[in-house]
Amino acid sequence: MSGWLASLAHLPGPPLLVALAAFGLLVGVLTGLFGVGGGFLVVPMLNLLFGIEWNIAIGSSLAFTIGTGAGGAARHARLGNVEPRATLIIGSAAVVGAVAGATLLQYLKTVLGRSGSEGFN
DSSP H or E stretch at residue 17: helix 13-34
Give me the phi and psi of 119, to 5 degrees please. 85, 180
How many Å apart are CA 73 and CA 59, to the nearest integer?
Answer: 21
How many Å apart are CA 26 and CA 33, to the nearest integer?
Answer: 11
How many Å apart are CA 88 and CA 85, to the nearest integer?
Answer: 5
pLDDT at site 8: 67
pLDDT at site 1: 46
How many Å apart are CA 38 and CA 78, to the nearest integer?
Answer: 22
pLDDT at site 116: 53
Judge whether 40 and 32 are in contact, CB under 8 Å: no
pLDDT at site 77: 92
pTM for the whole thing? Answer: 0.63
Residues of the chain with pLDDT under 70: 1-9, 37, 114-121
What are 40-48's contacts with CB under 8 Å, separation 24+?
Answer: 48/1, 48/5
The whole-angstrom distance between residue 47's C-alpha and the CA centroid of its chain comes to 11
